[in-house]
């Protein structure tokens, strides 16, 4: 064997030995790296989980605290204005108006808005469709302002600010004393000036308006919490047992042909807007 051949073999063996050493080292390093990565991943996941749990716990505590604070806050005592929405769907006959009765609170002035979007309960509304087979059913915006009830000792009034209705009338008989039938509460009790059988705007402790039936939806929006009661024929609106009153106020529905927009203080057209138009300079 020549010297060059021997030298070549030595070089080859040296390279093989070096590759073997490098490969083993790399494999060892890879194994160590994988183990370290596993530890880091596991610990990292635990840290993330702990942070997530802590965050959720703090958010739940915050939600609970906010709910507690909200329950303890009366917007009226803060001098603010509330927004209370009552949604009513009136079934029954489509050419009959059904009474909604309420009592205005005393104190500062209360505002009530009776609203109906023209397309609500249209013929395209599926299960919510009204008995009116049309797309433009009835639009209404009736804005009322007032205070207390007729038998209160305060300002005592209800006035219509806006009464604008389109396509067909849906709101009627707006009144400070709700439209009703009067009768004796105790049939064997005294006759009084309040319990003579009669029909009209006579409910001295309740105000009211009427909403058209036929599966129509309405929103009643007020700036104070008020209970609005949708009633039917014969329902008792309220009563007074005093010896000088002895009266039941009984709800009555009204057919379309007999409705009016309101009592003497609220008898406006259905295109009434109480705000004056601004003067336009030349």
Q: Are 131 and 243 in a shared domain?
A: yes
pLDDT digits (tens, 9 = 90+) for 213-267: 999 999 999 999 999 999 999 999 999 999 999 999 999 999 999 999 999 999 9
73 with 185: CB under 8 angstroms? no
Q: How much is the mean pLDDT over the chain?
A: 88
The domain tally of the chain equals 2
Q: Are 131 and 211 in a shared domain?
A: yes
Q: Are 6 and 32 in a shared domain?
A: yes
Does residue 113 carry a pLDDT above 70?
Answer: yes
Q: Are 147 and 36 in a shared domain?
A: no
| DSSP β-ladder status, 229-230 and 216-222 | unpaired
* pLDDT at site 126: 97
In this structure, of 19-23, 120-124, 258-262, the range with the lowest mean pLDDT score is 19-23
Confidence of residue 107 (pLDDT cuts 50, 70, 90): very high
* pLDDT at site 81: 77
CA angle 81, 87, 89 (to 5 degrees): 160
Q: Are 178 and 120 in a shared domain?
A: yes
Q: Does residue 280 form part of some domain?
A: no
Does residue 41 carry a pLDDT above 90?
Answer: no
Mean pLDDT of 102-127: 98
Confidence of residue 44 (pLDDT cuts 50, 70, 90): low
Q: Which of 40, 73, 106 is the last residue of a domain?
A: 73
The structure's pTM equals 0.73
* pLDDT at site 63: 77
* pLDDT at site 56: 78
Q: Which of 53, 73, 93 is the last residue of a domain?
A: 73
Confidence of residue 212 (pLDDT cuts 50, 70, 90): very high
Share of the chain above pLDDT 90, in %: 69
Q: Are 39 and 161 in a shared domain?
A: no
Q: Which of 22, 44, 73 is the last residue of a domain?
A: 73
Q: Are 7 and 57 in a shared domain?
A: yes
Q: Does residue 279 form part of some domain?
A: no
Q: Does residue 121 form part of some domain?
A: yes
If phi over 0 gives left and psi between -120 and 50 gives alpha, with beta otherwise, what is residue 79? left
Q: Are 68 and 89 in a shared domain?
A: no
Q: Does residue 219 form part of some domain?
A: yes
Decide which of 198 and 61 is more confident. Answer: 198
Structural domain harbouring 107 = 84-273
If DSSP states are collapsed to H, E and C, what string results for the chain?
Answer: CCHHHHHHHHHHHHHHHHHHHHHHHHHHHHHHHHHHHHHHHHHHHHHHHHHHHHHHHHHHHHHHHHHHHHHCCCCCCCCCCCCEEEEEEECCCCCEEEEEEECCCCCCCEEEEEEECCCCCCCCCHHHCCCCCCCCCCEEEEEEEEECCCCCCCCCEEEEEEEEEECCCCEEEEECCEEEEEEECCCCCCCCCCCCCEEEEEECCCEEEEEECCCEEEEEEECCCCCCEECCCCCEEEEECCCCCCEEEECCCEEHHHCCCECCCCCCCCEEECCCCCCCCC
Q: Are 193 and 251 in a shared domain?
A: yes
How far lies 79's CA from each of 82, 155, 224, in Å? 10, 20, 12
Q: Does residue 281 form part of some domain?
A: no
Q: Does residue 183 form part of some domain?
A: yes
Decide which of 1 and 254 is more confident. Answer: 254
Q: Are 152 and 176 in a shared domain?
A: yes
* pLDDT at site 69: 61
Q: Does residue 54 form part of some domain?
A: yes
Confidence of residue 78 (pLDDT cuts 50, 70, 90): low
Q: Does residue 278 form part of some domain?
A: no
* pLDDT at site 51: 58
Mean pLDDT of 112-119: 99
Does residue 109 carry a pLDDT above 90?
Answer: yes
């Amino acid at each position: 064997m020549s010297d060059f051949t021997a030298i070549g073999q030595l070089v080859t063996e040296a390279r093989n030995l070096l590759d073997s050493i490098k490969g083993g080292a790399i494999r060892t390093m890879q194994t160590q790296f994988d183990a370290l990565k596993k530890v880091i991943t596991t610990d990292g996941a635990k840290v993330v989980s702990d942070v997530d749990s802590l965050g959720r716990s703090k958010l739940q505590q915050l939600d609970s605290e906010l709910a507690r604070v909200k329950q303890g806050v009366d917007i009226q005592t803060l001098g603010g204005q509330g927004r209370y929405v009552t949604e009513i769907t009136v079934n029954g006959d489509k050419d009959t108006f059904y009474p909604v009765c309420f009592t205005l609170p005393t104190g500062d002035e209360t505002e009530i808005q009776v609203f109906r979007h023209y397309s609500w309960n249209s013929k395209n509304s599926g299960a919510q469709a009204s008995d009116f087979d049309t797309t433009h059913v009835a639009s209404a915006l009736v804005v009322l302002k007032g205070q207390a009830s007729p038998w209160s000792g305060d300002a005592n009034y209800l006035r219509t600010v806006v009464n604008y209705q389109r396509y067909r009338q849906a709101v009627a008989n707006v009144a400070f004393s709700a439209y009703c039938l009067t009768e004796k509460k105790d049939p064997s009790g005294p006759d009084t000036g309040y319990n003579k059988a009669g029909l009209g705007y006579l409910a001295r402790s309740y105000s009211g308006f009427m909403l058209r039936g036929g599966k129509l939806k309405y929103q009643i929006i007020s700036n104070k919490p008020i209970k609005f009661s949708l009633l039917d024929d014969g329902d008792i609106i309220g009563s007074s047992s005093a010896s000088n009153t002895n009266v039941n106020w009984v709800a009555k529905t009204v057919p379309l042909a007999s409705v009016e927009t309101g009592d003497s203080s609220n008898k406006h057209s259905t295109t009434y807007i109480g705000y004056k138009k601004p003067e336009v300079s030349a």
